[in-house]
Amino acid sequence: MFEEKIVDFKPSPGSIPLVGASIVVDQSDYPGVIRAARDLAQDFARVTKGDASPLVVISSESDYDKIQTETAIVVGSVASSGIIKTLAQQVKLDTQAIEGKWETFSTNIIDQPSGKCEKALVIAGSDKRGTIFGIYTLSEQIGVSPWYWWADVPPKHHEELYATEKQTVHGEPSVRHRGIFLNDEAPALTGWVREKFGGYNSKFYVKVFELLLRLKANFLWPAMWPGYPNPGASFFTDDPLNQRFADEYGIVISTSHHEPMQRLSNEWFAENPDGSWNWLTNKQKITEFFEHGASRAKGCDSYFTLGIRGEYDKKMLAEDPAAVVQDAIETQRQVVKKVYGREDAVPQLFAIYKEVQSMFETGRLSVPDDVTLLFQDDNFGTIRRLPTKEEAKRKGGAGVYYHLQYVGDPRSYKWINTNSL
């Protein structure tokens, strides 16, 4: 809505036609970028009601002859795309404004990118998601809503589409990580997912990943309710492709406020009885459980949740709960160091949820400076507190966990009776 316009539906001085233009991407680029380029090709078909745009995947400069159209849409990341690097070396493209930035992209129209192609719209991204966001920005501006699949929003029909001549830079987001938590998912979502996809598998999750990226989000706490069917959803084990595809698409995976270290509660209770989730009596086994989650996440874009809560997201039954939480945090940091080499090698957050907030505010918890403080609302959409000036200076920064709907004391609300976002 607030992005600079790069598409028009009638020609203007310096604009180039986009309908029928080849979409060009480098084979060496991120798989998620190549996949989004395929989406863009299909999006042109959705808008024009014609054929998908030709997709040309380049592996070397000799492949430039594959571009058979007079105009092209070139997409790529500055670090991985050979095409973008070549255009920059030829001084046809200036990437200085986006290099080293977070999720940033630029658009430019250039002359003679190669061979028969006379002009091209170049979407260059500072990183994987910056490039993908640039691709989906073009998709949305030609008329494809991010909600085209989930909400059946029909694409806006246009027979003519043009890229405007202006150069644009779409800068870093003000919030680095933005996403959703699929919680309280049964029976509505779970029943539908089981009917349409057979469970919370990669066929379902890729639809979620695509929606998030089209909305320029990048973060997910996956579904985790128990008992549907028993022991319930577990993102990491229900389908081994879930975590792999999340990383490939460009989605950062984390786990909910009471499920630390990339492990879901249902994984624990699939092999351990009720009453066994007890840090005081079962610390060694729970630590090994955490270590497996950290190891399994290697190579994937992750944000580890620290801390510990009672069984099934309940208040911990302990004489000194704060001491238990503190010990858990310190142990988890040592697990990260053991698996990754440094305590801060992976982004981490600490969810200040319900009774944990009083522990934190009374000084009974010491959270490392690089760990993000995730504050929460009161479960009913009212923010309880914001970071202080000193907390805002922390390396890990701060975030907010906000409820659209809620199941729990003193009153559950969901489905139609939800909060505004």
Structure letter (DSSP) for residue 413: B
C-alpha distances (whole Å) from 344 to each of 248, 305, 339, 371 are 23, 13, 11, 8
Report pLDDT for 135.
Answer: 99
Q: What is the mean pLDDT of residues 45-71?
A: 91
Tokens of 11: 């020609």
Report pLDDT for 71.
Answer: 97
Nearest Cα to Cα of residue 348 among 322, 373, 376: 373
Between 233 and 147, the higher pLDDT residue: 147
pLDDT tens-digit map of 293-346:
999 999 999 999 999 999 989 999 899 999 999 999 999 999 999 999 999 999
Report pLDDT for 34.
Answer: 99
The CATH homologous superfamily of the domain defined by 7-170: Chitobiase/beta-hexosaminidase domain 2-like (3.30.379.10)
Q: Which amino acid is at 346?
A: V
pLDDT at 2 over 70: no
pLDDT at 421 over 90: no
Q: Where are the domains of the chain?
A: 7-170, 179-401
Report pLDDT for 229.
Answer: 67
Q: What is the mean pLDDT of residues 206-235?
A: 91
pLDDT at 68 over 90: no
Mean pLDDT of the chain: 95
Q: What is the mean pLDDT of residues 400-413?
A: 92
> Residue 188: pLDDT band by 50, 70, 90 thresholds?
confident
Report pLDDT for 362.
Answer: 96
Cβ(207)–Cβ(148) under 8 Å?
Answer: no
What string of DSSP letters covers 238-299? H-THHHHHHHHHTPEEE--TTS-TT--HHHHHTTS-TT---HHHHHHHHHHHHHHHHHHTTT
Q: Which CATH architecture has domain 179-401?
A: Alpha-Beta Barrel (3.20)
Report pLDDT for 232.
Answer: 81
C-alpha distances (whole Å) from 10 to each of 135, 142, 156, 161, 284 are 21, 12, 15, 7, 67
- Type and span of the H or E element at 111: strand 105-114
Report pLDDT for 13.
Answer: 96
